[in-house]
Amino acid sequence: MSTLRGVTVRYLIITGSVIFLCTILLPLRAHAQLGLLGIERALSISLSPLHPSPGETVELAVKSSVLDLGTSTILWRANGKTIAQGVGVDSAQVTAGALGVETDIEVGVIAPDWVSASGRAIIIPTELDLLIDSDSYIPPFYRGRALVSAGTTLELSVIPRFKRPSGPLIAASDLIYTWRRNGEVLGSISGRGKSSVHIPFLHLYGADNFSVEVRTQDGVLSGEARVAAQSVEPMLALYEDHPLYGILYHRSLGASTFIPESEMTFAAVPYFSQARSVNDPTLMYGWRVNGALVPRSASAPSEITINATNSNGIALIELELTHTSNFYTDVKRVWNIMLSSSEPLQDQFRNTTQ
């Protein structure tokens, strides 16, 4: 490089977890007419993903508004080791290091007319875990998460792991959080230390895309996470409420079920509804048995007891669930139940359901 006589222009760009340093060397005799106009944008390095995690493969690409990269010789180095080189090699791959470990990327470009440029990017991996939940109702021992439905609140929490080289983990309360919904910044819930947010979900159908960008106050370290939240309708399930064991949550009743008992208490569970408990006063249960309206229990409106003594034992149970303030909640479900301790009636029930 000592044989090149010219002007050296340096500039520093800091964006996210990637620090760029570029140098442009121009021989004055060959390209004096070009001058310095636009030199600061002559070479740029892009990364995909922009916010790599530890051990993730990063796609590198170099672009230039001045040099013809297709005919130029390009050399890529990572931490001083050559990872790609050749004419027109404007892209390369590198594996990000461990959390907080720098990967120093260098790219050099020499055009056929000996105009040369070099660029540098420093990758510092970060980690983000974005957790999604809802305040919709789910029963005890449910192994899934609460899904969001119209009228409920979406709960988003991000767990950042940011570490500077040779430094400790940065406290989550010291980071800056920018939350977005469908690309629109949610300014009222963004800011320093805003790692957990609660967002009302007001529509019934469709999905919303949420993202959070997390960065240090100096902008050197950053990360981004995304999640899609799909609105669902509340779902009704029916369980046996056993006199000794309580509600048997491990076994919901199917659309057609035979019960070898003459009397049983049934409990309805309104999955993902806007409620704090199964007997929340805002939930309205409308029970019917064989077409007849059954009065709700004041203490347990989600339950109904059926006695098949002196009857044929066939009960068509209908349930409609509504909400006192959320008009989106209107769910109906039907179960065909046979209660009997006799085998002939069980055979009869099977025949009627075939």
CATH code: domain of residue 142 = 2.60.40.10
202 and 110 within one domain: no
Q: Same structural domain for residues 201 and 267?
A: no
pLDDT at 166: 85
CB 98 within 8 A of CB 55: yes
Tell me the mean pLDDT in the region 18-38. 35
- Name the percent of the chain lying above pLDDT 70: 84
What pLDDT is recorded for position 41?
Answer: 55
Looking at the structure of the chain, the number of domains it has is: 3
From 254, 226, 22, 4, select the one nearest 131 (Cα to Cα). Answer: 226
Residue 222 lies in a domain: yes
Residue 351: predicted pLDDT: 38
For residue 199, is pLDDT > 70? yes
Contacts within 8 Å (CB) and 24+ apart, 66-72: 66/34, 66/38, 66/39, 66/42, 66/115, 66/117, 67/42, 67/43, 67/109, 67/111, 67/115, 67/117, 68/111, 69/109, 71/111, 71/112, 72/109, 72/110, 72/111, 72/112
Mark whether 73 and 28 lie in a shared domain.
Answer: yes
Q: How many CB atoms lie within 10 A of CB 11?
A: 14
Last residue of some domain: 214, 230, 246? 230
As beta bridge partners, residue 208 has: 229
Same domain, 240 and 348: yes
Structure token digits, residue 339: 């209660």
Distance CA(101)–CA(344), nearest Å, equals 74
Same domain, 218 and 310: no
pLDDT band at residue 170, thresholds of 50, 70 and 90?
very high
AA letter at 240: E
- Domain residue limits at 69: 6-123
Q: Stretch 7-23: mean pLDDT, rounded?
A: 34
Q: Select the highest-mean-pLDDT range: 29-38, 260-269, 338-347.
A: 260-269
Q: Are residues 269 and 300 in the same domain?
A: yes
- Mark whether 132 and 159 lie in a shared domain: yes
> Which of 87 and 113 is assigned the larger pLDDT?
87
Mean pLDDT of 220-228: 94
Residue 308, in any domain of the structure: yes
Whether 26 and 85 map to the same domain: the answer is yes
| pLDDT surpasses 50 at 4 | no
Residue found by looking up tokens 């007997």 in the block: 279
Residue that is last in its domain, among 92, 108, 123? 123
- In this structure, are 226 and 263 located in the same domain? no
Tell me: do 259 and 189 sit in the same domain. no
Mean pLDDT (the chain, rounded): 84
